[in-house]
């Protein structure tokens, strides 16, 4: 009797294992689309952070490619693809698995990089997790806005003569 029970348990376990494998293969087949061409980048790229979000774009690239949370993201034919490396193999991502922050990117997002901030790839790869925790680029954006505001105020004061040699007084 024990032998029969053991055979039944092993059979049920094997069927469950096979069913899981088959479902995984079906999901993979559905998600597998035509392969995307490589980016064609010969040297390690420089990256630029997008303002107020933890997304980076490749500088000087004529297509939208973003890095977010450990993955490279790229849209092609209205479908999102991702890769673990910027020059890696791109796999189609089913719609429900694309992060909201990536879905919220508008076409042409690469042109919204943070000022002149360019990060060499080696430095980026080594530090992005820490920067994400620190919200580094959120702070940088606010500093840049503050500098621009101070500069505008200074220009306004210089042009209007508010007691700083603006043209009134003795000659």
Q: What confidence score (pLDDT) does residue 157 get? A: 64
pLDDT digits (tens, 9 = 90+) for 115-153: 678 999 999 999 999 988 887 676 655 555 545 666 666
pLDDT of the residue at 133? 86
Neighbours of 158 (CB within 10 A): 12
Answer for the pair 56, 50: CB distance below 8 angstroms, yes or no. yes
Both 24 and 55 in one domain: the answer is no
| 38: confidence class by pLDDT, cuts 50, 70, 90 | confident
Same domain, 51 and 134: yes
- 15 and 52 part of one domain: no
Q: How many domains does the chain have?
A: 2
Q: What is the pLDDT of residues 108-117, one digit of tens each?
A: 887 776 667 8
**Mean pLDDT value of segment 22-49:** 69
User: pLDDT for 64-107, tens place per residue?
Assistant: 999 999 999 999 988 999 999 998 899 999 989 999 999 999 88
Residue range(s) defining the domain that contains residue 13: 1-31
| 154 falls within a domain | no
10 and 52, same structural domain?
no
* CA dihedral of residues 50, 51, 55, 56 (deg, nearest 10): 30
Q: Are residues 132 and 58 in the same domain?
A: yes
What's the pLDDT at 109? 82
pLDDT reading at 9 higher than 60:
no
Instruction: Give the rounded percent of residues in the chain with a pLDDT score beyond 70.
Output: 58
Judgement on whether residues 51 and 132 belong to the same structural domain of the protein: yes
pTM of this structure? 0.61
Whether 18 maps to a domain, the answer reads yes
Q: Are residues 9 and 57 in the same domain?
A: no
Per-residue pLDDT at 32: 58
Confidence tier at 39 by pLDDT (50, 70, 90): confident
HEC assignment per residue over 87-127: CCCCEECCHHHCCHHHHCCCCCHHHHCCCCCCEEHHHHHHH
Is residue 155's pLDDT more than 50? yes
52 and 129 in a common domain: yes
pLDDT band at 46 (very low <50, low <70, confident <90, very high): very high
Is residue 161 domain-resident?
no
Do residue 58 and residue 115 come from a single domain? Answer: yes
């Amino acid at each position: 009797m024990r032998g029969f029970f053991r055979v039944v348990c092993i059979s049920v376990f094997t069927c469950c294992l096979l069913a899981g494998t088959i479902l995984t293969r079906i999901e993979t087949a559905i998600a597998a689309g035509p392969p995307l061409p490589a980016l064609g980048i010969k040297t390690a790229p420089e990256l630029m952070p997008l303002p107020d979000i933890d997304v980076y774009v490749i500088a000087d690239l004529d297509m939208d490619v973003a890095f977010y949370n450990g993955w490279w993201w790229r849209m092609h034919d209205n479908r999102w693809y991702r890769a673990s490396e910027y020059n890696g193999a791109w796999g189609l991502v089913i719609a429900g698995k694309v992060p909201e922050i990536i879905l919220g990117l508008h076409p042409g997002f690469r042109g919204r990089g943070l000022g002149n901030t360019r990060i060499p790839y080696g430095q980026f790869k080594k530090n992005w997790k820490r920067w994400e925790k620190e919200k580094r680029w959120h702070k940088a954006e606010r500093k840049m806005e503050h500098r621009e505001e101070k500069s505008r105020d200074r220009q306004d004061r210089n042009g209007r003569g508010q007691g700083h040699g603006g043209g009134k007084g003795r000659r």
